[in-house]
């Protein structure tokens, strides 16, 4: 653990990029139908900055809609969290939404942002430390889907509250989302809480527009996984020979984001040779869209009950307060 800015920022680096990261990347590309790249590979420093740009796009409604919900219901959200809670944010990014919650919380015991992008995480924490000089900040550089022992703040919290905004829960297939909710429940005691953002089912045209923006930022974000493989894993992907694609699968209730090979080609990754046919697709992300009752049922199977739910007037997005019941 490294101490930054006095005792108020204690940084824990669990080295999420060490070990067999390249092997994990390769495993999804070796076979299967379709080939896959896990969404976590989006988020190097450049990918995190691109995602911040996506969140500002006109077509990308989830961020501004969720922010409006958080802003308008800040008091009720703070009441659900309770006084002197330890706020743990999963995939904190730039922590923009966190400020809305921190402003409303009563005497938080500390803030634990968890993110795989080390530079992005540290920069966000330095900004927060300047804005909230009394707040103890305990950043953890880690993959939150892996086992983590949460750091302990200097003041004992009354409750742990997990904060998972941004509809990232939709990136898991439903069985995976249920497993993930069980996984993070392992950090909790009965009565602890979770605030989670959920993108709700809506008209397909609107969904597809959100993932196919006119400026091409989402396409650049998607292709960045190949650029990252070239830089970090010694691959030789030609980004000009792959195209971004995002479609809505109505039967599954999800957006499917892919990279499409525009030619028959061979890609080298270390000693491996990967052959792609023209038109072959690499799946990079699912984004499931839930009906509120379906999400409540899924969370219930993982040991969480819904305390409250807030939506925007059009019912585009939902923010759920869950309680761990064991």
Answer yes or no: is 168 within a domain: yes
Burial class (CB in 10 A: 0-12, 13-18, 19+), 175: exposed
Range of the domain at 284: 204-288
Q: What is the pLDDT of residues 113-159, one digit of tens each?
A: 998 888 888 888 999 999 999 999 999 998 898 889 999 999 999 99
Same domain, yes or no: 97 and 179: yes
- Tally the domains of the chain: 2
Q: With beta carbons less than 8 A apart as the criterion, state whether 295 and 180 touch.
A: no
Q: Which residues of 193-227 are buried (b: 16+ CB within 10 A; e: fewer)?
A: bbbbbbbbbbeeeebebbbbbeeebbbbbbbbbbb
Answer yes or no: is 34 within a domain: no
Helix (H, G, I), strand (E, B) or coil at 75: helix
Q: With beta carbons less than 8 A apart as the criterion, state whether 39 and 285 touch.
A: yes
Answer yes or no: is 271 within a domain: yes
Is the CA virtual torsion 68, 74, 76, 80 positive or negative?
positive
Same domain, yes or no: 12 and 109: yes
Same domain, yes or no: 92 and 218: no
pLDDT at position 231 is 95
Q: What is the pLDDT of residues 172-200, one digit of tens each?
A: 999 999 999 999 999 999 999 999 999 99
Same domain, yes or no: 12 and 147: yes
Answer yes or no: is 185 within a domain: yes
Same domain, yes or no: 187 and 211: no
Neighbours of 30 (CB within 10 A): 10
Same domain, yes or no: 89 and 219: no
Domain of 117, CATH number, reads 3.40.50.150
pLDDT at position 108 is 97
Longest C-alpha distance within the chain, in Å?
59
Q: How far is CA 182 from CA 31, 63, 278, in A?
A: 29, 26, 40
Same domain, yes or no: 195 and 209: no
Same domain, yes or no: 192 and 271: no
Answer yes or no: is 70 within a domain: yes
Q: Is the pTM of this model over 0.85?
A: yes
Residue 135's closest CA among 1, 321, 5, 12?
5
Burial class (CB in 10 A: 0-12, 13-18, 19+), 229: buried
Q: Which regions in the chain score pLDDT beneath 50?
A: 1, 4-6
Same domain, yes or no: 209 and 186: no
Answer yes or no: is 228 within a domain: yes
DSSP string, 163-179: EE-TTGGGGS-HHHHHH
Answer yes or no: is 33 within a domain: no
Answer yes or no: is 32 within a domain: no
Same domain, yes or no: 177 and 316: yes
Q: With beta carbons less than 8 A apart as the criterion, state whether 168 and 194 touch.
A: no
Q: What is the pLDDT of residues 261-279, one digit of tens each?
A: 999 999 999 889 999 999 9
Q: With beta carbons less than 8 A apart as the criterion, state whether 107 and 83 touch.
A: yes
Cβ neighbours for 293, distance < 8 A, ≥ 6 positions apart:
none
pLDDT at position 220 is 98
Beta strands in the chain (DSSP E): 2-4, 9-13, 35-36, 85-90, 110-115, 140-141, 159-164, 193-199, 242-249, 254-261, 265-269, 272-276, 281-288, 304-311, 317-324
pLDDT at position 173 is 96
Same domain, yes or no: 110 and 210: no
Same domain, yes or no: 89 and 168: yes
């Amino acid at each position: 653990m490294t101490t930054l800015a006095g005792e108020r920022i204690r940084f824990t680096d669990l080295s999420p990029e060490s070990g067999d990261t390249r092997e994990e990347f390769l495993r999804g590309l070796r076979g299967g139908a379709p080939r896959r790249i896990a969404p976590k590979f989006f988020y190097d420093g450049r990918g995190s900055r691109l995602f911040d740009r996506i969140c500002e796009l006109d077509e990308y409604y989830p961020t501004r809609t969720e922010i409006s919900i958080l802003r308008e219901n800040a008091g009720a959200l703070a009441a659900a969290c309770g006084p002197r809670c330890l706020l743990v944010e999963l995939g904190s990014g730039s922590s923009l939404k966190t400020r809305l919650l921190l402003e409303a919380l009563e005497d938080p015991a500390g803030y634990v942002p968890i993110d795989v992008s080390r530079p992005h995480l540290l920069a966000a924490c330095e900004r927060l430390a300047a804005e909230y000089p009394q707040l103890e900040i305990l950043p953890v550089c880690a993959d939150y889907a892996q086992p983590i022992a949460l750091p302990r703040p200097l003041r004992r919290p009354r409750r742990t509250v997990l904060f998972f905004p941004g509809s990232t829960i939709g990136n898991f297939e439903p069985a995976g989302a249920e497993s993930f909710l069980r996984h993070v429940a392992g950090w909790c005691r009965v009565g602890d809480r979770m605030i989670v953002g959920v993108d709700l089912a809506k008209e397909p045209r609107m969904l597809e527009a959100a993932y196919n923006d006119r400026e091409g930022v989402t396409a650049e974000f998607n292709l960045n996984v190949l650029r990252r493989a070239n830089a970090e894993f010694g691959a030789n992907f030609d980004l000009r020979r792959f195209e971004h694609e995002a479609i809505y699968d109505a039967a599954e209730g999800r957006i499917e984001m892919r990279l499409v090979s525009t030619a028959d080609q061979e890609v080298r990754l270390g000693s491996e040779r990967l052959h792609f046919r023209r038109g072959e697709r690499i799946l990079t992300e699912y984004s499931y869209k839930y009906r509120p009752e379906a999400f409540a049922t899924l969370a219930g199977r993982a040991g969480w009950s819904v305390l409250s739910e807030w939506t925007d007037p059009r019912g585009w997005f939902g923010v759920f307060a869950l309680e761990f019941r064991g």
